[in-house]
Amino acid sequence: MSDIIGGSSLYGNSPRGGGMMSSNNSVGSASLSRPPSAIGGAAYNLQGQSTLSAAPGPASATGNPTISAPVQGGSGGMDELLPLVMQLTNPEQRENVLLELSKKRESFQDLAPILWHSVGTVSALLQEIASIYPLLWPPTLTAMASNRVCNALALLQCVASHPDTRGLFLAAHIPLYLYPFLNTQSKSRPFEYLRLTSLGVIGALVKMDDPEVINFLLQTEIIPLCLRIMESGSELSKTVATFIVQKVLLDEMGLQYVCATGERFYAVSAVLNNMIDHLTVNPSVRLLKHIVRCYLRLSDNPQARDALRECLPMTLRDETFANVLRDDLTVKKWLSQLLVVVGPPVEGRSGEQQQVGMGSSSAVGGIGGISLQSGNSGL
């Protein structure tokens, strides 16, 4: 699978792919760029920094967003945008309009509020999403159907990342429509692209560092969905899913949630440990970066820190990743800090035995149906 969420089609030079993947690795140091056909209207990098090039329009006295001029250098104006948005409600025109808006969405600064407040537009996007549910199982999703729904998801990501519409997006529970896509397990390219694009919408939400977003995601059990992808997805999907878990952990509510019970903590740590094992065979700096950051954040919790003293992989303690991290000073600093905070393992104590104040890891349950037994993930 390709390593970019970028301009050309995942399936070649498809005229339908408004937000496909090219063969270039422009993700770089674990960042998602936002070329003309990226998966979302306001892409993020995996360090949680905004890559928005335009500020949202000011709010009017009534509280509704005012319509401002298009982004400087953009090719579209309101005379072009409004007819396209209106055409979304026409099933015969929708496919071409989805492609057109997906390509040009960064030319329209106010696309998100216009999409949300236009009559029938969000319903039309949700119809596109719901229309492929029957293709999820048995897995019969085609490249054409995947491209089309991902163009709709790209527009929803615009809505998710815009400050005027993000709260409305959450209040309407729109992310729940994406969870069936995250729960798929087929490794075919149409499904992988669908999962990756859906992760992009969630990633656009968490990068805003909004406690309401984290609360919503915890209540709707996003963590087990991300953990499943972290274990079995492509490298890029694993990276984005790990970024989401990292952002959840960086919020105090998220850290408390994961460390509230031994089952939750060991569900997360078991997946992280498995990923480290895989990275010893197929190293990836960008993925390792977010795994180390997750461990470092977990170590902020006293009980989790005691548990990590026993279950932290030895490959992070020795020189296994020395060459991989040779040129990444940030990850080297995080790893050194993690090892200092956690300290050396206690001889004669196993990860199963060391569970200070965190319950028993032998209980089956984990997070949201993820089961753990004897320290192994039951994903």
Amino acid at 164: D
pTM: predicted TM-score of the whole model, two decimal places: 0.76
Mean pLDDT (whole number) for 295-301: 98
Q: Residue 74 burial (CB < 10 Å; 0-12/13-18/19+)?
A: middle
For residue 138, being part of any structural domain is answered with: yes
Mean pLDDT of the residues in the chain:
79
| Domain limits for position 182 | 1-50+77-208
Structure tokens belonging to residue 189: 């390219």
Residue 203 has pLDDT above 90, yes or no: yes
User: What pLDDT score does 348 carry?
Assistant: 57
Confidence of residue 109 (pLDDT cuts 50, 70, 90): confident
Question: Within a domain: residue 312?
Answer: yes
Q: Are residues 195 and 251 in the same domain?
A: no
Q: Does residue 60 carry a pLDDT above 70?
A: no
CATH number at residue 106: 1.25.10.10
Same domain, 334 and 185: no
Please tell me whether residues 296 and 195 are part of one structural domain: no
Residue that terminates a domain, selected from 208, 229, 253: 208
Domain assignment of residue 185, yes or no: yes
Residue 267 has pLDDT above 80, yes or no: yes
What does the alpha-carbon distance between residue 343 and residue 345 come to, in Å, rounded to a whole number? 7
In this prediction, residue 77 has a pLDDT band, given cuts at 50, 70 and 90, of confident
Clarify whether residues 265 and 195 are in a common domain.
no
* Boundary-marking domain end, from 151, 180, 208: 208
Name the DSSP letter for residue 136: T
User: How many Å separate Cα 291 from the centre of its chain?
Assistant: 14
Residue 179 to residue 187: CA distance in whole angstroms: 17
**Are 210 and 166 contacting, i.e. CB atoms less than 8 angstroms apart?**
yes
Instruction: Sort 98 into a burial class: Cβ within 10 Å, 0-12 / 13-18 / 19+.
Output: buried
- What is the average per-residue pLDDT within 191-200? 98
365 belongs to a structural domain: yes
Q: How many residues does the chain have?
A: 379
Does residue 70 belong to any structural domain of this protein? no
Residues 295, 351 share a domain:
yes
- The DSSP code for 31 is B
Residues 149 and 261 in one domain: no
194 plus 293 within the same structural domain = no
Task: Give the pLDDT of residue 358.
Answer: 57
Secondary structure element (H or E) that encloses residue 35, with its range: none
In angstroms, the CA 228 to CA 214 distance is: 19
Q: What is the pLDDT of residue 281?
A: 95
The answer to whether residues 364 and 293 belong to one domain is yes
What was the pLDDT predicted at 20? 36
Pair (351, 251) in one structural domain: yes
Q: Please determine, for residue 165, whether its predicted confidence score (pLDDT) is greater than 50.
A: yes
Concatenating the DSSP letter of every residue in 312-363 gives S-HHHHSSTTTTTTTT-HHHHHHHHHHHHHH-SPPTT--TTT--TTS--TTS
Domain assignment present for residue 350? The answer is yes
Of residues 66 and 265, more confidence is placed in 265
* pLDDT score recorded for residue 66: 37
Residue 308 pLDDT > 60: yes
Among 128-142, 148-162, 168-182, 365-379, whose mean pLDDT is lowest? 365-379
**Span 216-242, average pLDDT:** 97
HSE of 104, CA atoms in CB hemisphere, 13 A: 21
Q: What distance in Å separates the CA atoms of residue 337 and residue 331, rounded to the nearest whole number?
A: 10
Split at pLDDT 50, 70, 90, the class of 76 is low
Residue 214 placed within a domain: no
The DSSP code sequence of 16-73 is T-TT---SS-TTTTTB----TT-SSSS-BBTTS-B--SSPPPPB-TTSSBPP-PPPTT
Residues 190, 82: one domain?
Answer: yes
Given a cut of 60, whether residue 339 has pLDDT beyond it is: yes
Domain total for the chain? 2
> What is the per-residue pLDDT across 92-103, written as a single tens digit (0 to 9) for each?
999 999 999 999
Q: Phi and psi of 372, rounded to 5°?
A: -130, 135
Alpha helices in 183-301 (DSSP H): 189-206, 211-219, 222-232, 235-250, 252-258, 262-279, 285-298
> Does residue 227 belong to any structural domain of this protein?
no
Q: For 74, what's the count of Cα atoms within 13 Å in the CB-facing half-sphere?
A: 23
Q: Are residues 151 and 299 located together in one domain of the fold? A: no
8 with 123, same domain: the answer is yes
